């Protein structure tokens, strides 16, 4: 069972005393929730005045004043006069980016990358590594960006990366980075989209990742959905189309490479086939959860990915005209961070566990 975490005045989480058996939500719980929500709003919308925070939080301005004062005392936010052409300039509050940092690591079969983000979730440093043994050296080369201010490290594993020995991975990372949180890369991508992209649309959110395999992250009612066996979103083995091929066979980086090696230099034929199969997968997903948005990212070249999305849109329109699908099924869009979504989502996890709304 998870232990409740709360913000302390230093910005680090407090842990409830196990002897505290008070039922219900305590004033400390409420203060923690309001502080996290305020930080989340400032992260998403930028500087806000007390009046603007009051409207978004549904609290009085005196209550907001108390919240931002506590956060300012912790060094997490700072106030400043808003630029204005009128005589009156309202006081607005913004995150202090260097108040805290987090590491995000993306791990796949061929290595991966590490980033450092600040409290505003801006990437401050990035480095690649080619194998697990190189993670420690890579971390040491960039951790100076955030001396003494790391809240933790998030690690996103691809399906290939999931086969890596966890003990060896944690040993490579080391113990000096704070708590280490491990999650699937599809969950990391959807976390980044929720926090730094489209948000949490009504009906839920689906992000599809395409690289060596095809998989999806599912966000339903504000929570990642993994299924009873933890396999929800593993759509790469779905068979569709008249050829009955799987998505992993026709819509991945390896399949594109095979096509370009055996066919002409053009990727057009591959794009048509991949888009058709991906569209049928989208129909299957939409028939069950009716998401408010479906986004695609991953490692395909930018122009190829854009062409796949355009081809899927044409497939959708053709099927609507033929009355095969309901018009409310959303148009597939490019992810807000198509290449960085996974590693950003990994770096966000420590912040979500300590400072931002989960």
199-334 in CATH: which number? 3.30.420.40
CA distance 182 to 156: 6
If one compares 128 and 14, the residue with the highest pLDDT of the two is 128
pLDDT of residue 351 exceeding 80, the answer is yes
Helices (DSSP H) in 15-77: which residue ranges? 27-45, 50-57, 61-73
Q: Are 166 and 160 in contact (CB under 8 A)?
A: no
347: nearest Cα among 77, 48, 93, 43 = 43
100-190+341-354 in CATH: which number? 3.30.420.40
Range 5-95: architecture per CATH: Orthogonal Bundle (1.10)
Average pLDDT of 273-279?
93
Model pLDDT, residue 231: 78
Model pLDDT, residue 299: 92
Q: How many CB atoms lie within 10 A of CB 14?
A: 15
Average pLDDT of 223-236?
83
- The pTM assigned to this predicted structure is 0.86
Would 5-95 and 199-334 be classified into the same CATH topology?
no
Domain boundaries, the chain: 5-95, 100-190+341-354, 199-334
Q: Are 74 and 9 in contact (CB under 8 A)?
A: yes
Over residues 133-167, the pLDDT tens digits come to: 788 888 888 888 887 788 999 999 988 777 777 77
């Amino acid at each position: 069972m998870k232990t409740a975490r709360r913000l302390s005045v230093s910005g680090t989480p407090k842990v409830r005393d196990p002897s505290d058996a008070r039922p219900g939500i305590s004033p400390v719980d409420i203060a923690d929730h309001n502080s996290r929500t305020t930080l989340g709003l400032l992260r998403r919308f930028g500087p806000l005045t007390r009046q603007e925070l009051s409207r978004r939080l549904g609290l009085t301005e005196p209550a907001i004043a108390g919240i931002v004062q506590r956060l300012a005392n912790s060094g997490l936010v700072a106030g400043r006069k808003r630029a204005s052409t009128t005589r009156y300039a309202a006081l607005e509050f913004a995150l202090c980016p260097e108040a805290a940092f987090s590491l995000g690591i993306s791990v796949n079969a061929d290595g991966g990358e590490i980033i450092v983000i600040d409290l505003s979730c801006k990437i401050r440093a990035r480095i690649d590594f080619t194998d697990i043994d190189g993670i420690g050296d890579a971390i040491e080369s960039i951790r100076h960006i955030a001396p003494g201010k790391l809240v933790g490290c998030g690690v996103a594993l691809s399906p290939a990366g999931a086969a890596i020995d966890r003990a060896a991975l944690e040993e490579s990372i080391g113990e000096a980075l704070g708590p280490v949180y491990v999650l699937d890369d599809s969950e990391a991508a959807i976390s980044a989209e929720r926090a730094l992209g489209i948000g949490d649309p009504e009906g839920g959110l689906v992000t599809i990742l395409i690289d060596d395999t095809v998989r999806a992250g599912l966000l339903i009612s504000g929570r990642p959905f993994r299924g009873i066996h933890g396999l929800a979103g593993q759509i790469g083995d779905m068979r569709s189309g008249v050829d009955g091929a799987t998505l992993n066979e026709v819509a991945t980086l390896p399949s594109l490479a095979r096509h370009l090696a055996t066919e002409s230099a053009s990727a057009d034929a591959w794009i048509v086939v991949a888009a058709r199969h991906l569209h049928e997968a989208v129909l299957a997903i939409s028939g069950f959860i009716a998401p408010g948005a479906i986004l695609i990212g991953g490692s395909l070249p930018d122009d190829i990915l854009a062409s796949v999305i355009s081809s899927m849109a044409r497939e959708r329109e053709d099927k609507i005209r033929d009355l095969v699908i309901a018009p409310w099924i959303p148009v597939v869009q490019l992810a807000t961070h198509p290449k960085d979504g996974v590693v950003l989502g990994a770096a966000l996890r420590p912040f979500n566990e300590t400072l931002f709304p989960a």
